Structure 1
Amino acid sequence: MFLGMEASPAVASVARVKALKLDQFCADIIACKLSIELMDKHHQQGRRFAVRIDVTMPGRELNISRVNDEDVYIALRDAFDGMKRQVEDAVRQARRRRGGSGHGTEEEAHPP
């Protein structure tokens, strides 16, 4: 989970809570992998943290890999906010494909 830096129990705990909250939007999440990387330590702007999240759902792989910030907690928040939007979009698309509008598809209404 931590790359180029020592593991932080506090950061890991915040990440776990945020990952569990994704289940509120989709109970079908199979896996959620997270990496937090300390970027170039010699950068003039100070330390920057890069966050990557990979979520596996039935038939879908979602990922966020472009989130970075000097504050690891802000990078986590922004990454999980982006992943939440992706999960919500994937759930909406799956409902549309299944005819989840409540009206069903033509095939469901008139089976062969």
Structure 2
Amino acid sequence: MKRNLQITFRGMNPSDALSEHIRDNADKLEQFFDGITGCHVVVEEPHRHQQQGKHFHVRLDLHVPGKNIVVDREHGDRVSHEDAYQAVNDAFDAARRQLQHYTEGLRAHR
């Protein structure tokens, strides 16, 4: 495995199940693009709202040759996530789209 995966939890207790979910998503992303050399995922529960429930912020920093790709999904974005797993899924989906643009750019320069 080429990439170095780092997972950080902020404002919440670490979760083995959520860590495994993140690893699964990272593995799928690496299958899509095998040039990932580093991946740092931060899952944060910034505020606990009594009436609105929990909201999660997920940030992904991907390192690929010649570029760093950042995905930052905050609780204030269009879609607010009360489910940490869905927030992680959406962040990895956004990363996949950015990687697709990156690879299209690489092909265009050949």
Same topology, TM > 0.5: yes
Structure with greater proportional strand content: 2
Instruction: Find the partner of 1:88 among 100, 103, 107.
Output: 100
Decide whether the 8 Å contact of 2:73 with 2:87 is kept in 1.
no
- 2:89 maps to what in 1? 77
Shift of 1:27: 1.1
- Cα deviation, 1:92-112, whole Å, max 9, x if unaligned, reads 1111112xxxxxxxxxxxxxx
Higher mean displacement: 17-26 or 6-15? 17-26
- Cα deviation, 1:30-59, whole Å, max 9, x if unaligned, reads 101100001212453111111000101011
Amino acid at match of 1:24: Q
CA–CA distance in 2 between the matches of 1:45 and 1:70?
9
CA–CA distance in 2 between the matches of 1:22 and 1:96?
22
1:56 is aligned to 2:63:
yes
Structure 2: unaligned runs, 5 residues or longer: 1-7, 76-80
CA–CA distance in 2 between the matches of 1:66 and 1:77?
11
Q: How many residues align?
A: 98
Q: TM-score scaled by structure 2?
A: 0.84
Larger Rg: 1
Q: CA RMSD in A?
A: 1.2
Decide whether the 8 Å contact of 1:67 with 1:79 is kept in 2.
no
Structure 1: unaligned runs, 5 residues or longer: 99-112
Runs of 4+ in 1 over 6 A off after TM superposition: none
- Cα deviation, 1:40-80, whole Å, max 9, x if unaligned, reads 12453111111000101011111111244100011011111
Higher RCO, Cα 8 Å, sep 6+: 2
